[in-house]
Amino acid sequence: MQKKYDFLIVGAGLYGAVFAHEAKKAGKTCFIIDKRKHIGGNIYTEKVADIQVHRYGAHIFHTSNKEVWRYVNQFAEFNRFTNSPMANYKGELYNLPFNMNTFNKMWGVITPEEAMQKIQQQRNDSYVDYPRNLEEQAINLVGLDVYEKLIRGYTEKQWGRPCHELPALIIRRLPVRFTYDNNYFNDPYQGIPIGGYTAMVEKMIEGIEVQLETDYLADKTYWDSVAEHIVYTGPVDAYYNYRFGVLAYRSLTFDTELLDTDNYQGNAVVNYTDSETPYTRIIEHKHFEFGTQPQTIITREYSVEWKLGDEPYYPINDEQNSMLYAKYKQLADVEPYVTFGGRLGEYKYYDMDQVIAAALCRVEEVLRET
């Protein structure tokens, strides 16, 4: 018997929205459900006191993928925001990512050669050819002082474990530059959608039915009966009722305040890189859009241990969890009529542009098969 919809999209986040948009464009019928009260998943923004608040942490769109950049520009106009976070280490302020401004402030060096020499000196005793963990990788890259002041405390708060137990690849996300350039990303395209991410997602899923506050897994049999194909963007282990064990995540809590000042910290993102400050960073939302409102909204972000039932934010792609994920992936890959996608469905530390690229690739495949 023909089912009512071609696609049931579980999750109104970016992956689900892109998939649904493309499927609808191809003439397919879609229905979207999400267990949250809103669309957008983790990129959800909400206007408060005339300021777009990033409810699930700072989201800066950046990409090297021209196609993806063109793609998102169909749904929003992007402003010229360039992420240049500051690091506050016990009241000392440094520019991020690690660049000549950082090295100048740290050591007083002026030229790239002096900076390289200083790093060379600092890593002399500790250099390892093949860094096995984040600590070794960080010291190789930027030396001991930068590691101690800007990396160790922040990373250990962020991940809740010592740097020598963390994979080296986490720190390789950050550029190290010998130019005076505070752009956090190397990508040629960057910005924040004017009007917020929620409006962008709304536009993507225009004309598609959405039902919020609806948990697919609470009534899976029913939901499976409404569509020919399921696009599942929730946690893959939850789909299989944790039969091999629970995949680990890092979770976050956010403490948001409306303040009666027009400018609290002078920058959108300030990281607190010491070990003692309990939060990892403070976001001042209006600076993402060069806001001139009379008030401001700040959010302190705390990284917390995750347990089942908490919001899963960061997959922990260490060896143990990667092995566990591989078992689930084996099942997911042969599941007929189900696509597992996105940060939770694929258990990947995906940025927004990667999520879009993955969804575009997968929807094309599925449409070809149907």
Active site residues: 173, 177, 250, 281, 301, 349, 351
Closest of 80, 63, 81, 85 to residue 72, by C-alpha: 63
| Angle CA 125–110–183, to nearest 5 | 90
Binding mask 214-253 for ligand UDP (x = CB under 6 A): ----------------------------------------
By CB under 6 A, residue 352 contacts ligand UDP: no
Binding mask 212-251 for ligand FAD (x = CB under 6 A): ---xxx---------------xx-----------------
How far apart are the C-alpha atoms of 300 and 253, rounded to whole Å? 8
How far apart are the C-alpha atoms of 39 and 25, rounded to whole Å? 20
| Angle CA 212–214–220, to nearest 5 | 145
Min dist. Cβ of residue 123 to ligand FAD (A): 30
Q: What distances in angstroms separate CA 103 from CA 75, 94, 127, 173, 262, one per listed residue?
A: 40, 9, 19, 19, 31
Cβ 21 vs Cβ 205: under 8 Å: yes
Both ends of the chain: CA-CA distance in Å?
16
How far apart are the C-alpha atoms of 103 and 178, rounded to whole Å? 9
Min dist. Cβ of residue 42 to ligand FAD (A): 4
| Closer CB to ligand FAD, 67 or 92, in the complex | 67
Site for ligand UDP (CB under 6 A): which residue of 102, 271, 339, 354? 271
By CB under 6 A, residue 313 contacts ligand FAD: yes
DSSP 73: H
How far apart are the C-alpha atoms of 39 and 36, rounded to whole Å? 7
**50 conformational bin, left if phi > 0, alpha if psi -120 to 50, beta if neither:** left
How far apart are the C-alpha atoms of 252 and 157, rounded to whole Å? 11
Closest of 295, 287, 253, 294 to residue 270, by C-alpha: 287
Give which of ligand FAD, ligand UDP, none residue 223 binds (C-beta under 5 to 8 Å, depending on kind): none
Pairing state between β 281-284 and 92-95 = unpaired
Binding mask 124-163 for ligand FAD (x = CB under 6 A): ----------------------------------------
Give which of ligand UDP, ligand FAD, none residue 14 binds (C-beta under 5 to 8 Å, depending on kind): ligand FAD
Cβ 189 vs Cβ 64: under 8 Å: yes
Cβ 246 vs Cβ 237: under 8 Å: yes
Min dist. Cβ of residue 62 to ligand FAD (A): 6
How far apart are the C-alpha atoms of 172 and 98, rounded to whole Å? 12
Site for ligand UDP (CB under 6 A): which residue of 42, 140, 198, 273? 273
By CB under 6 A, residue 58 contacts ligand FAD: yes
How far apart are the C-alpha atoms of 126 and 148, rounded to whole Å? 14
Determine the interface stretch with ligand UDP among 99-107, 113-121, 166-174, 218-226 (rule: CB under 6 A): 166-174
Give which of ligand FAD, ligand UDP, none residue 59 binds (C-beta under 5 to 8 Å, depending on kind): ligand FAD
By CB under 6 A, residue 10 contacts ligand FAD: yes
By CB under 6 A, residue 170 contacts ligand UDP: yes
| Closer CB to ligand UDP, 157 or 229, in the complex | 157
Site for ligand UDP (CB under 6 A): which residue of 4, 70, 90, 173? 173
By CB under 6 A, residue 96 contacts ligand UDP: yes
How far apart are the C-alpha atoms of 253 and 342, rounded to whole Å? 21
Cβ 46 vs Cβ 52: under 8 Å: yes
By CB under 6 A, residue 76 contacts ligand UDP: no
Min dist. Cβ of residue 57 to ligand FAD (A): 3
| Binding interface with ligand FAD (CB under 6 A) | 10-16, 33-36, 41-43, 56-61, 215-217, 233-234, 252, 313, 342-344, 350-353, 355
| Binding interface with ligand UDP (CB under 6 A) | 87, 96, 150-151, 154-155, 158, 170-171, 173-174, 271, 273
